[in-house]
Structure formats: structure tokens, C-alpha cells
Structure 1
Amino acid sequence: MKALRIVDTDDGTRGELTDVALDTLSEGDVVIKARYSSLNFKDALAITGQGKIARKRPLNAGIDVAGTVESSEDARFSPGDEVLVTGWFLSETRDGGLAEYVRVPADCVTARPEGLSLWETMAIGTAGFTAGMAIKRMRDNFQAPEQGPVVVTGATGGVGMFAIDMLAGAGYEVIAVSRKAEQHGDFLRQLGATDVIGPEALDLEGKPMGKPVYAGGIDAVGGELLANLLGHVHPYGNVAAIGLAGSPKLPTMVLPFILRGVSLLGIHSVECPPAWREQIWAAMAGADKPSHLDSIATQTVGLRDVFDVCEAIMAGRNTGRTVVDIQA
């Protein structure tokens, strides 16, 4: 079987397209014949060798996969079932989805939700699922559209684009934050943002809190930007933290939490419990289905094209989501 495999070479860790025996795949009781995967920033880090994503090597790349069950030792799945896997340490400690076959424990497998094709599940992938999980956690903590505008930072990233789309579709007023506001403002407004601002608009000038302006937010940046956002959130608002593109540090005080009751919600989609997964995927296949999916997922490529796309991602030249057709 063909697989894009992360290997150690004399020139460092890299991805290479090679042949792999099915019986050498990571342990699991469900074998999936892959139809589609997708490319995330995490995949680009692993394949280009610019990030130590694969914690053991060699290991097949790809943190997402969708396809049909080839065989199953678990009664929950049967040959021919259409399924998907996102997260669960694919391409970190388990062989991932950029391969013709994937073997995983049954608890990692989610049945394809009615309302989404296999291609659509991978167009959404980890990025969209993470946005969906953030929105679920905010709603579970009483976030509602009538409370006011919700900020999305890192708005041109995969999670940001889906968050804007789904929040706007659910009736929230969305403010997109991006350093590329002038370049991509029109596109972000097409996704549903009512306004697009630069990160400097959130600056607290060194203060722990400022005027409450926003009802909540979804943050992909971390660091000072997240601290500034927390200081602008209305009482009892929620901020979901999904990334650290800017910094893993959080230079803030407890004041927003104890004086305004602001909640900081951590989003860890890799090990999202199966029961939550089913609810989130069902929502994204139904009422929360992204309405601009074709505009967000802008290209479908084959396995041999993955290297070029990953280089473009790392160079900042790639916009939108990329689906990988494993059988192309």
C-alpha cells in the first residue's frame, strides 16, 4: 500500500511517499480503506520536518482520514461502513491518514454523519471539528447570540474560517481579527463576519481589563492577543482557546475571571470524547453545517501533490483548506 511516511534521514525528519505493508500499521481492531484525508498546519509541520509532530518514527502522516471499513473486530462497525477519524494521535503516535489503509482502535472511529459526504467530512476535518467543539463548549456555558458580538482571532486560518461561518450561521454577530484584514477582509465578510479588525484594536495598553465590548471569542493565537481579548469580554462571556500561533504564554491576571465571570475554555479536540464527537459531527451535518464549504476547501489534490502544498502552507502561500484524494 502507498503511504506518505514520516522518516528520519541524514537531512532531518521528512515525509516520503513509499510502500508500507498493511500488517506493519499501528495496532487497532478496525481497518479503514482511505478515500480522503486533508492537510492541516500540523501536517505541514510533520511532512516538511519543521515540527516534531511524529513522536515516533517511521510513522504515516495525516491527522485526518475518511473512508470505508475494510474489516472490523468490533461489532460497532462492519465492512463497507463509511467512517472518519480525526485526531486520536494520528501522525503522532499512530499511523495516520495519508495512506491507502489505516488501522485504529474502534473507539477512535466515528460513523459518517448523515448530511455529509466523505469529501465534506475531510473538507471540514480537524480544523472544522475544532471550531465545532469550541462552539459547543461555549453554548454549553450559556453563550447566546443576543449577548453581543463574538470575536474570532486567527480568522484566515482553518479553524477561524469555520468558526466565522458556523457562528454567523447560528445567528451570532462575528468580528474577525486578522493581521491580513486588508488583504482578506472581503472574503471574511463573505463567510459571515460583520467587521474585520487588526489585533491592535484589542490592545489594552498594559491594563488587565478594558471596556467590555465583546460577548466572547474563539482564539487561535494565544499570548498577548488572548490576554487583551479576555480584558474586553462582557460579564459571563466565554473565550475558547484553540491554538498558540502567537505564543503559548498568557500574560494576564485573574481579574477578568473574578470581576466579570469570564470563562476561558480550553479546546483539545485530539481526545474529544466519542459521545461529544457524535454530537458535534451531527450538528455540523445539520443546523451548523458550514454554508461556505466550497469557498473554504479550495483544492483537492493527490498524494503526490501533498509535498508542494505543505511547502506552500509553511511559506504562507496557501489559503483555504486542502482535501487529499487518496485514490487519485
Structure 2
Amino acid sequence: MDNTDLGKQNDNSILVTEDGAQLVETREEFAGEGDTDIHISHSSINYKDAMALAGNRGVVRTFPLVPGIDAVGTLDDGTLVTVNGHGIGERRHGGYTPHMRIDGSLITKVPERFSAAEAAAIGTAGYTAALSVAALEEGVDKQAGPVLVTGATGGVGSIAVQLLAARGYEVAAVTGRVEEHGAWLRELGAADVIDRAEFEGEGKPLAKARFAGAVDTVGSQVLANVLSQIEWGGSVTACGMAAGADLPATVMPFILRGVRLLGINSVDTPRELREQAWALLAESVDTDAIRTETVGLDGVIEAGAELLDGKRSGRTVVEL
């Protein structure tokens, strides 16, 4: 993990207006409203954040907006906490500012084994991966066969690979850059690395069954092809739409093989499930294995553009 000292930038925030994203001097209204104060030290850049920085109105519900769907920091008593979801960084100001006010019921205490930087490296991506793995564990036996992870070099996918491997699953990781990222994915625990091209074209409604389950972070045609290749009674979790929000599939996998498609919503998850997901992470994630780059607030806008262009892998931590 890159722990480069980037210096403190607590006088600044990132603000998105209808004219674009910019680094501005922090204003009191950026903190928002709530009964609890969080002194933010770290955030991260997720795909949704990258879309917000680009002014995507499917993410940005109001202007002006401080983006950042992750916030990690301390309470007044020094307790390390994290918060995400509930409209943060979408319809209310998010984590790219040094101070947040929020209802205490929306806060999750960070497990003691993680530092603030590690919690940010995990962030929404790792928490979503943990929700996905927990959902698969309810219906996919570890001995049933390989479990597929699409978008395996991204934040969610890369953490899902190592969580599944750590918990005893045989993992097949999908990437569009096998030669570039294959060795790293195997280091994370993947037993097999598969070229994304195998899942991108229009496939059969019901193809040869190859996988006991899958974590899909991509959506669209890739998810449709994954569903068609799941063994009888297997489960697929869906948490992303990097390839599109459509799903050009048929009902064949569901009615002929009993395949289950499980939606993963990391935004409105009840507190109990959030705490369970973080407990799973505390038990199984290797933070040293998370490919992480740290940027300051002055590097957020450029890093977000790079993420949208597919030029970043792993996790990007923001140090305020």
C-alpha cells in the first residue's frame, strides 16, 4: 500500500457544478446536516465517483455537490468510523471535504485491525465485494466448482477474488488484460484467469455449464453470458453496470437450471448487514494485497478521468 505523505489539504474540497468539477476552498455548508460530526481523513475513488466528477446526472442528483461516496474519519471521541450510501456523494455532500455532519445511525465503526487508510482502500468497493461473497456463501458450496468474478481488476472484483479464495473457493477471474494483470490476479488467489472477450459477444441462451456461481461487476452482455454458463442451482450476484444497465438474457438459466440472480445494493443496506460485511472483511481480507494508489484532493479529478478511461486498476485512496 502506498503510504506516501501527501500533506494536509484540509482547507480544500472538491465541488461539482453544472460547469464541471473543481478544487475549491471548503465552506461550512459542505458539511451537511446531522447529529454527529465526522472529521474526514480519507476517502476513495469508485466508478460512481468518477461518473460524478464527470457530471453524470445519473449519479449527481443535485448541483452543486461535493462528491465522494466513501468517508473515513474520526468522531469527536476519536472512534474511527466509515460511512457510505444513503445518498452521500449523490444527492447530499460526500467525502471529498474535511468535515461531515450525518445522522449517527448511518455510521459504521471500523474494525480495530484497520487503519483509516486501509478502511478507505477497502471502501465501498470492498464492502460491496463482502456483501456479494456473503450472498454467494448462502447458496454456493465451496466444493461445487469454480466461482467466476468479472471485472476482476477493478475495486470490487479484485477484493472479491481474494475474499473468495481466502474463504475456500476456487476462483476464475475475468479481465480484458490477461497478460498485464494475470500474475497479480493469481497472487490474489485466482486459480484461473480468463479473457473478457469470451463473455462479450452475443452468446447462447443456455451454454455449457462451467461455474458454480459468479460475482458480476459489469452487467449487460457479460452478465447475460455468465448466467448462461452457471451450473444447476448456482447463484450470481450483480452489483455493477460498467458495460451497461441492460441485460440481454433469457429466462432459460432460471427455469431450466434453477440459477439465482442476486442483486447487491450497497447504498441502502441495513446497519446489521453492513456490520456483518465489515466483520467478514476483518476476518478474510489482506489489505497488503490490495493494489492501492494514494492521491491528494488535487489529484482526484485527473484520477477519476483515468478510471473512466480504464487506465486504473485496484483502488485509489484519497488522503485529505
Task: Give the structure-2-normalised TM-score.
Answer: 0.91
In 2, distance between residues paired with 1:206 and 1:190? 30
Identify if the C-alpha distance between structure 1 residues 109 and 205 changes in structure 2 by more than 3 Å, giving closer, same or farther: closer
Over the residues paired in the alignment, what is the CA RMSD in angstroms? Answer: 1.8
**What residue number does 1:75 align with?**
none
Identify if the C-alpha distance between structure 1 residues 187 and 58 changes in structure 2 by more than 3 Å, giving closer, same or farther: same
Matched, 1:37 2:37: no
Contact 1:209/1:232 (8 A) holds in 2: yes
Which of 138, 157, 161 is residue 158 of structure 2 equivalent to? Answer: 161
Contact 1:204/1:210 (8 A) holds in 2: no
Query: Structure 1 residue 145: deviation in Å?
Result: 1.1
In 1, distance between residues paired with 2:84 and 2:145? 32
In 1, distance between residues paired with 2:59 and 2:199? 32
Query: Structure 1 residue 50: deviation in Å?
Result: 4.9
State which drifts further: 83-92 or 51-60: 51-60
Matched, 1:65 2:71: yes
Matched, 1:239 2:236: yes
Contact 1:17/1:304 (8 A) holds in 2: no
In 2, distance between residues paired with 1:137 and 1:40? 22
Identify if the C-alpha distance between structure 1 residues 318 and 206 changes in structure 2 by more than 3 Å, giving closer, same or farther: closer
**What residue number does 1:4 align with?**
14
In 1, distance between residues paired with 2:202 and 2:26? 55
**What residue number does 1:137 align with?**
135
Query: Structure 1 residue 200: deviation in Å?
Result: 3.8
Correspondence list, 1:134-283, <5 A: 134-140=132-138, 142-202=139-199, 206-283=203-280
Secondary structure of 2:267 counterpart: coil
Contact 1:202/1:232 (8 A) holds in 2: no
Q: Deviation string for 1:29-60 (max 9, x for gaps)?
A: 11100111111121122123356422111121
In 2, distance between residues paired with 1:58 and 1:279? 34
In 2, distance between residues paired with 1:318 and 1:137? 27
**What residue number does 1:299 align with?**
293
State which drifts further: 107-116 or 165-174: 107-116
5+ residue gaps in structure 2?
1-10
In 2, distance between residues paired with 1:93 and 1:247? 22
In 1, distance between residues paired with 2:202 and 2:248? 13
State which drifts further: 109-118 or 51-60: 51-60
**What residue number does 1:15 align with?**
22
Query: Structure 1 residue 308: deviation in Å?
Result: 2.5
Identify if the C-alpha distance between structure 1 residues 294 and 255 changes in structure 2 by more than 3 Å, giving closer, same or farther: same
Matched, 1:121 2:114: no
Query: Structure 1 residue 296: deviation in Å?
Result: 2.5
Secondary structure of 1:184 counterpart: helix
Query: Structure 1 residue 206: deviation in Å?
Result: 4.1
Using CA pairs under 8 Å that are at least 6 residues apart, name the structure with larger relative contact order, 1 or 2.
2
Secondary structure of 2:143 counterpart: helix
Contact 2:151/2:216 (8 A) holds in 1: yes
Residue identity in the other structure for 1:319: S
TM superposition outliers: structure 1 runs of 4+ over 6 Å: none
**What residue number does 2:78 align with?**
80
State which drifts further: 300-309 or 258-267: 300-309
Contact 2:133/2:164 (8 A) holds in 1: yes
Aligned length: 310
Percent identity, aligned pairs only?
42
In 1, distance between residues paired with 2:200 and 2:316? 33
In 2, distance between residues paired with 1:202 and 1:304? 37
Query: Structure 1 residue 196: deviation in Å?
Result: 0.9
Residue identity in the other structure for 1:236: G
**What residue number does 2:102 align with?**
104
Contact 1:297/1:323 (8 A) holds in 2: no
Task: Give the structure-1-normalised TM-score.
Answer: 0.89
Q: Deviation string for 1:166-211 (max 9, x for gaps)?
A: 1111111111111112221111111111111123434796421122
